[in-house]
Amino acid sequence: MVLGVDIGGTKIAAGLVSEEAEVSGVHTIPTRAAEGYEVSIQQIWKAIEESIAGDVTSIGICAPGPLNPKTGIVMNPPNLPGWHNVPLQRMAQDRFGRNVRLENDCNAAGLAEALFGAAKGCSSVFYAAIGTGIGAGIILDGKIYHGKNGAAAEGGHVTIDYRSETICGCGSPGCIEALASGQVLERLGAYDLDHLAIQLGAWLGSIVSLLDPDIIVIGGGVSKIGEPLFARLRAVVPKRTVNPYARDLPIVPAKFGADAGIVGAAAVAMGG
C-alpha cells in the first residue's frame, strides 16, 4: 500500500492507494498557506499522520512547482508563501521512516492517467490540466520527462501570440495560460467556446508538432465543459500542426478528477 499526498495552495489531500489505483481513507485539510511556511508544513504532517497506515511502504507527494524531483526540494511556489528551497522529500523520510518521492503535481497526474487512467497502455502522453492556470505533464516511454533540471513541461507558459497585450503572470506576453485558463474565463464572466477551442487548438497543435504523442489527455475544471469542447479541439488541432497523423490523435478527458493528485503521487512512489 502506498500513501499519496496532494499538496495544493488551498487544501492538502492524502489517501491510501492500492496497486490497482483504488483509493481509500482520504483525508482533506486546509493548507493554510497564507499563514506561512511554519503553519503549512505542519498541516502537511497532520494530513499524512491522519492517513498513514501500518502497511504503507512508501509515500508519494505531489506539490506545485517550481520544485526539483531529482533532489526532492520545493523551491519557491507562488501559492505556498514562505517556501524557499525546502527539502520536503528528506524531511518526510526522516519524520515518517518511509521511502518518499516528490513530484510536480501535473507530472504526477499525467503519470496516473498513463498508468491507470484515460491513457492506460499508451507509451507517450501529453497531459494538460486546464483549471485556474494551465499545467502540463509529458510522459515518454511510460516515464515522466523531467528535462535537465527537473523543470520541463511548463506547458502553460508556451506563448501562442508574442505580440499579445495580455501579459502572463510569468511576465511573457500571450502565454496560453493567460489567454485560455479558467481564471481568464472567470474574469470575463462569459466565453465563446469556439474562440476558446481556437486558442487551445493552436497551442495543442504546436505540442503535437513537437512531441507526436499517442494521446492527449485533458483534466482540470475547463475539461468539465465536456464533449462540446473536445469535439472542437479534435477539429481544430489537425489544422494547426504539420503532423499528418493528427486527425487520428485521441484527445480525451482525464479519468481521475479530485483524486488525480493522490493517485499520481502514489504512482510516482510506486516507481513510475
Question: Are 253 and 130 in contact, with CB atoms under 8 Å apart?
Answer: no
pLDDT score of 182: 82
Which cell numbers hold the place of 218?
485533458
Which residue in 249, 246, 232, 235 sits closest to 197, CA to CA? 232
**Which CATH superfamily includes the segment(s) 121-253?**
ATPase, nucleotide binding domain (3.30.420.40)
Which cell numbers hold the place of 81?
508563501
CA distance 55 to 64: 28
Tell me the percentage of the chain whose pLDDT exceeds 70: 98
Tell me the percentage of the chain whose pLDDT exceeds 90: 84
Mean pLDDT of the chain: 94
CA distance 139 to 145: 6
DSSP 21: -
Matching fold, domains 2-107+259-269 and 121-253: yes
pLDDT above 90: residue 94: yes
Residues 163-189 have pLDDT tens digits of: 999 999 889 999 999 999 987 777 766
pLDDT above 80: residue 49: yes
Q: What is the DSSP string of the chain?
A: -EEEEEE-SSEEEEEEE-TT--EEEEEEEE--GGG-HHHHHHHHHHHHHHH--TT--EEEEEE-SSEETTTTEE---TTSTT--SB-HHHHHHHHH-SEEEEEEHHHHHHHHHHHHSTTTT-SSEEEEEESSSEEEEEEETTEE---TTS----GGG-BS-TT-S-B-TTS-BTBHHHHHSHHHHHHHS---HHHHHHHHHHHHHHHHHHH--SEEEEESGGGGG-HHHHHHHHHHGGGG-S-TTGGG--EEE-S-STTHHHHHHHHHHTT-
Q: pTM (2 decimals)? A: 0.92
**Average pLDDT of the segment spanning 191-196:** 84
**Average pLDDT of the segment spanning 101-105:** 96
Residue spans per domain, the chain: 2-107+259-269, 121-253
pLDDT score of 109: 95
Band of the pLDDT at 190, cuts 50, 70, 90?
Answer: low
Which residue in 59, 54, 76 sits closest to 67, CA to CA? 76
Sequence-distant (≥ 6) Cβ neighbours of residue 149 within 8 angstroms: 68
pLDDT score of 192: 81
**Average pLDDT of the segment spanning 8-36:** 95
Report which secondary-structure segment, H or E, holds 41: helix 37-51
pLDDT score of 186: 75
Residue at 200: amino acid letter: L
Higher pLDDT, 169 or 84: 84
The CATH code for residues 2-107+259-269 is 3.30.420.40
* Of 69-78, 145-154, 178-187, 247-256, highest mean pLDDT: 247-256
**Average pLDDT of the segment spanning 228-237:** 97
Which cell numbers hold the place of 262?
493522490
